Amino acid sequence: MYRVAVIKGDGIGPEVVDSAIRVVNSVTDRIRFYEFEGGFEVFKRIGSPISEDDLKEIRKMDAILFGATTTPFNVPGYRSLIVTLRKELDLYANLRIIPDLSNGKEIVIVRENTEGLYARDGIGFSDRAIDFRIITLEGARRIAKFAINLAKERNSFITFVHKANVLKGDRFFREIVLEIAEREGVEVREAIIDSFMIKLVKNPWDHGVILTENMFGDIISDLATIHAGSIGIVPSGNYGDEIALFEPIHGSAPDIAGKGIANPIGAILSAAMMLDYLGLNGKVVWEATRRYVRYGNLTPDMGGTATTSEVTKGIISEIYSF
């Protein structure tokens, strides 16, 4: 039996996570889910977005399934739950897969997930505020290895996206990436973050495994979703050496919360990535989703009229039909 922590969050988080759990349960009975609370509501009660006790329990789990939370940005001292979890659990590799479900193509992004501008809180003074973009040797090495291994598995290459013409940290990161890739016999192409924007719009499928620093990865991965039809279908895995967390990359979308029309596919494919991570059959979920998308009614974000529940049921019946 695998033990999976579930943090549904708020907004559409609970709706899409429920869908993902239904799908997982239709594939395997080897997972038990344990629900945990977290986010701004918890912060208001205890001054931290998740309790120490819960974190301790979660560390013992095999994986985490995460929905979405709303992060208010004008509350002093509040750090978003997902950033806290990535940091606390040292989930250093954020793998985002932007699929074109109709043709099987994918944009693959490996975002460093614990350092850069997210490494620590900035400092505010009366006349200025400073954030720190920190790239460590250890941090750069482990993420470079993660991406390079993935490129090997996929018979692909690395596109390292950086701003080394301005940033010391990216010059440092770049040396490490080039060195490890050479040793491992993996090709590295380079792109500067600004002009990469244009390439990602115009030739999205040509970049092998995209490797980049935390904030650049945040920006690139949202942009890449324009090729997926909707950000609502894009899954991700946040991997550490001990545990991994899976979440759709979309946010909590408070405007459509409770209406039953959130796109569950991002959460469902995140669950598929989780099944793969646990050594269970994630492939069947990917394949069922691809099939369903080909003919099925989709949610409004994809131009359809389906509800969250209809899409979920549709994918589950595809799974049963295998």
Ligand X SMILES: CC(C)[C@H](C(=O)O)[C@@H](O)C(=O)O
The residues binding its own copies (CB under 8 A) are 71-74, 80, 83, 117-118, 121-124, 126-138, 163-174, 193-195, 197-198, 201-202, 215, 218-219, 221-223, 225-226, 231, 251
Structure tokens at 307: 């509800």
CB of 71 to ligand X, least distance (A): 5
- Left (φ > 0), alpha (ψ -120 to 50) or beta: where does 239 sit? beta
Instruction: Give burial (CB, 10 Å; 0-12/13-18/19+) of 210.
Output: buried
Site for ligand X in 177-236 (CB under 6 A): 194, 218
Of its own copies, ligand X, none, which one sits near residue 279, judging by CB under 5 to 8 A according to partner kind? none
The catalytic residues are: 118, 163, 194, 218, 222
Site for ligand X in 76-95 (CB under 6 A): 80, 82-83
- Under rule CB under 6 A, residue 170 binds ligand X: no
Indicate the residue among 14 and 248 with the shorter CB distance to ligand X: 248
Indicate the residue among 162 and 313 with the shorter CB distance to ligand X: 162
* Per-residue DSSP letter, 116: B
Site for ligand X in 46-75 (CB under 6 A): 71
Indicate the residue among 92 and 292 with the shorter CB distance to its own copies: 92
CB of 85 to its own copies, least distance (A): 14
Structure tokens at 205: 């499928």
Write 170-177 long-range contacts (CB < 8 A, 24+): 170/135, 170/213, 172/135, 172/137, 172/140, 173/135, 173/140, 173/144, 173/213, 176/137, 176/140, 176/141, 176/144, 177/140, 177/144, 177/148, 177/211
Q: Tell me how far apart the alpha carbons of residues 48 and 71 are, in angstroms, rounded to a whole number.
A: 13
Closest CA to 269 of 23, 85, 92, 94: 23
CB of 217 to its own copies, least distance (A): 10
Of ligand X, its own copies, none, which one sits near residue 276, judging by CB under 5 to 8 A according to partner kind? none
User: 68 by DSSP, 3-state: which?
Assistant: strand
Indicate the residue among 164 and 178 with the shorter CB distance to ligand X: 164
Of ligand X, its own copies, none, which one sits near residue 82, judging by CB under 5 to 8 A according to partner kind? ligand X
Give the angle 107-83-180 at the CA atoms, nearest 5°: 50
CB of 148 to its own copies, least distance (A): 20
Closest CA to 83 of 256, 214, 172: 214
Of ligand X, its own copies, none, which one sits near residue 127, judging by CB under 5 to 8 A according to partner kind? its own copies
Of its own copies, ligand X, none, which one sits near residue 223, judging by CB under 5 to 8 A according to partner kind? its own copies
Interface contacts to ligand X, rule CB under 6 A: 71, 80, 82-83, 165-166, 194, 218, 249
